[in-house]
Amino acid sequence: MSDSLKMSAVDPGGNIVATPIKTADERTFDAVVIGAGFSGVRMLLELRKLGLSGRVLDAGSDVGGTWHWNRYPGARTDSESWVYCLSFSKELMGDWDWKERYPQWEEVNAYLRHVADRFDLRRDIQFDTRVVSARFDDETNSWTVTTSAGEQFTCTYLITGLGILSLPVVPEIAGRDRFEGDILLTADWPEAGVDLRGKRVAVIGTGATGIQLVPVVAEQCDRVTVFQRTPNFAVPAQNYPLDDAKRAEIRRNYDSIWSKARDHVFGFPLDPAGRVYDDVTDEERERIFEENWQRGGWEFLFETFDDIVLDQRSNDAAAEFIRNKIRSIVNDPDTAELLCPKGYPYVGKRPPLEHGYYEAFNRENVRLVDVSQNRLTEITEKGLRLADGQEFDADVVVFATGFDAVTGPFERIDIRNGEGLPLVDAWSEGANTYLGVGTPGFPNLLMVSGPQTLYANFPMVSEMNVEWFGELLRGMRERGLNRVEVTKEASDAWSAHLDDVFRATLLTDGAKVGSWYLGANIPGKPRKILFYFGGGAAYRQAWEASRDNNFEGFVLTTVATETPAAAAL
Ligand code: NA7
């Protein structure tokens, strides 16, 4: 295979430099990357740094991943903009001005488009392309990737950047086809937007999505009826626009922001509270909660008390503080009480940030319907019907009903190893991976933010994984190796460790209320923890220990082959 000079590789500082990149024919690459969200975009940059040929395939029409599809009114990140981005290039950070503390979906997409333009990424990305299957061939040491259009690509490495929340789930409610109005899915919102003026809107689901949607939609439409099965512990985001002074401060503190975020348990640039429940009086505790409620965002969880997810008393105190806030905001006592989560701990389900959600229930046109016992059973011509026969008319029904997290997107691709074993069968009792980046029996399958990865601010987690793949592939190339597979021992040990960490927290109670961390929101999905909750520092140390010990946990070999893809390394 001949080398040619392509002009838009990047150096470690993020600058575009001329670097020889191996060219391939139009169908054969060193790596095929599935997904053009944060993971895929960042992976492509890494492949260029390595001088490897790559093709990114994405079902959407542009970069964005999750944000390409979740275009519902009010959709925005729950992470602060200055860490909901890529950190590899100070120059990139320097030439992008975030508008708000929590960017809306449009802004995140605009950022990723900017990254694609700045580094001329689109020439290696094929949009409107859905991958339907991938087969590994042991002899040729290569993957054959097939799209829904029947196109095939061959590559040595199959790299997934499928997103952790990219396969939406819609509950089976009878009568869907009969409904005379419009049915919308927040995770596939029409690109052109929807005119909700004068409409009666029914919203099913009160997770982070429903909680963002309701206050925005309430301002646009005639009436909103919110169908709630389980109330959530939402804390105020306290969003604000960023001005030049704030942006300058962020840029000045770039290094410390990122080193804090990378070590933090959830990937945020926050300090530990440095105190636990027993360190303060009851009055002092209320003052600390109040102060952090006003600051908004993840400060309430992380900068109040360090034992909120570990000590029941601490958790109870935080939970009761939130309930009292709900009671003080929502005028109607019955509605307020229905909105108060009970019977499970704060953080048992992923707690959302809110932007006027509770206040929305003080509007004349917003009403809450409890479907925890009296279930939603039917969609009629005119609206929704509950088990007891009550009916609610609607012009538009919105499903904000969550995702088949992390493993779901893998299941909709028929991935098989060299023996023909489907990945879904290998994972029939739950995914078993090493560090969330590889699974035994599936050589040269590398997963960015795969199952059992770190639970944290995801652009940062993806970037960590991609950097590791850079180190791994560079290390392999230096030694003339072209095949990588994680061991079963390493994966079993990682799964056991994940479980131990998870069981030491109060998050296990999320199983009772359908937490997606555990796959408990999907009927029949194995109840196995899908994430590592041990924090960024420990996650990185686990990688470094492997890397510095000759990539322990990975079996690295060479397969002699004539195929162009394998020869490329
Ligand atoms: P979530 O958090 O999984 O929320 C889904 C919501 O949909 C939740 O309130 C569910 O109630 C509700 N739901 C699901 N099926 C039904 C039926 N059949 N009837 C009534 N209500 C139902 O998804 P989101 O999209 O809001 O958020 C996902 C993540 O995105 C979030 O955690 C952030 O990380 C960003 P349930 O709680 O199961 O009783």
Tell me the pLDDT tens digit for each residue of 177-227. Answer: 999 999 999 999 999 999 999 999 999 999 999 999 999 999 999 999 999
Q: How would residue 563 be classed by pLDDT, with cut points 50, 70 and 90?
A: low
Residues with Cβ within 8 Å of 110's Cβ and at least 6 positions away in sequence, in order, are none
Q: 403: CA distance to ligand 1 center in Å?
A: 8
Q: How would residue 5 be classed by pLDDT, with cut points 50, 70 and 90?
A: very low
Looking at residues 265-284, what average pLDDT do you find? Answer: 96
Among the atoms of ligand 1, which is closest to the Cα of residue 171?
18
Residue 15: CB atoms within 10 Å: 12
Place of tokens 């029914």: 202
Q: How would residue 25 be classed by pLDDT, with cut points 50, 70 and 90?
A: low
Three-state secondary-structure class, residue 155: strand
Among the atoms of ligand 1, which is closest to the Cα of residue 230?
39
What pLDDT does residue 344 have?
Answer: 96
3-state DSSP of 168-186: ECCCCCECHHHCCCEEEEH
Q: 248: CA distance to ligand 1 center in Å?
A: 37
Q: Is the pLDDT at 498 greater than 70, yes or no?
A: yes
Q: 355: CA distance to ligand 1 center in Å?
A: 17
Output b/e per residue, 441-455; b: 16+ Cβ within 10 A: bbbbbbbbbbbbbbb
- Ligand 1 site-directed mutation target among 209, 226, 353, 525, most atoms within 8 Å of CB: 209
Residue 13: CB atoms within 10 Å: 11
Q: 103: CA distance to ligand 1 center in Å?
A: 22
Three-state secondary-structure class, residue 9: strand
Taking CA atoms only, the protein residue closest to ligand 1 atom 10 is 205
CA 463 to chain centre: 13
What pLDDT does residue 26 have?
Answer: 84
Taking CA atoms only, the protein residue closest to ligand 1 atom 4 is 207
- Measured CA to CA in angstroms, residue 280 lies from 277, 284, 324 at distances of 6, 6, 20
Among the atoms of ligand 1, which is closest to the Cα of residue 350?
32
Q: Distance between CA atoms of 399 and 186, rounded to whole angstroms? A: 6
Q: Distance between CA atoms of 253 and 316, rounded to whole angstroms? A: 35
Q: 172: CA distance to ligand 1 center in Å?
A: 14
Q: 277: CA distance to ligand 1 center in Å?
A: 30
- Measured CA to CA in angstroms, residue 455 lies from 124, 435, 516, 520 at distances of 29, 11, 12, 16
Average pLDDT, the chain: 94
Q: 206: CA distance to ligand 1 center in Å?
A: 6
Looking at residues 148-164, what average pLDDT do you find? Answer: 97
**Joined tokens for residue 525:** 């999905």
Q: Distance between CA atoms of 64 and 43, rounded to whole angstroms? A: 14
In terms of Cα–Cα distance, which of 247, 295, 255 is closest to 94?
Answer: 247
In the chain, % of residues over pLDDT 70: 94
CA 481 to chain centre: 32
Residue 519: CB atoms within 10 Å: 24
Q: Distance between CA atoms of 566 and 70, rounded to whole angstroms? A: 37
pTM passes above 0.85? yes
Query: Identity (one letter) of the amino acid at 175?
Result: G
Please list the alpha-helical segments (H only) found in 96-221: 105-118, 208-220
Ligand 1 environment, Cβ below 6 A: 165, 171, 204-210, 227, 229-230, 350, 371, 376, 400-403, 513-514, 516, 521
- Ligand 1 site-directed mutation target among 172, 225, 229, 531, most atoms within 8 Å of CB: 229
Please list the alpha-helical segments (H only) found in 129-207: none
Mode of pairing for the β-strands spanning 28-34 and 152-160: parallel
Q: 435: CA distance to ligand 1 center in Å?
A: 27
Among the atoms of ligand 1, which is closest to the Cα of residue 372?
39
Q: Distance between CA atoms of 410 and 424, rounded to whole angstroms? A: 8
**Joined tokens for residue 81:** 């903009």
Q: 53: CA distance to ligand 1 center in Å?
A: 39
- Partnered with residue 154 across adjacent β-strands are 28, 144
Among the atoms of ligand 1, which is closest to the Cα of residue 399?
7
Looking at residues 164-189, what average pLDDT do you find? Answer: 96
Query: For residue range 106-144, what is the model confidence (pLDDT) as tens digits?
Result: 999 999 999 999 999 999 999 999 999 999 999 999 999
Taking CA atoms only, the protein residue closest to ligand 1 atom 29 is 208
Three-state secondary-structure class, residue 468: helix
Q: 369: CA distance to ligand 1 center in Å?
A: 15
Looking at residues 246-253, what average pLDDT do you find? Answer: 95
Q: Is the pLDDT at 318 greater than 70, yes or no?
A: yes
Q: Is the pLDDT at 16 greater than 50, yes or no?
A: no
Looking at residues 435-446, what average pLDDT do you find? Answer: 98
Q: 401: CA distance to ligand 1 center in Å?
A: 4
Q: What is the DSSP string of 323-367?
A: HHHHHHH-SSHHHHHHHS--SS-TTSS-PPEESSHHHHTTSTTEE
Q: Is the pLDDT at 565 greater than 80, yes or no?
A: no
What pLDDT does residue 562 have?
Answer: 62
Q: Distance between CA atoms of 31 and 8, rounded to whole angstroms? A: 18
Q: Is the pLDDT at 82 greater than 80, yes or no?
A: yes
Among the atoms of ligand 1, which is closest to the Cα of residue 211?
26
Query: Identity (one letter) of the amino acid at 77?
Result: T
Q: Is the pLDDT at 397 greater than 60, yes or no?
A: yes
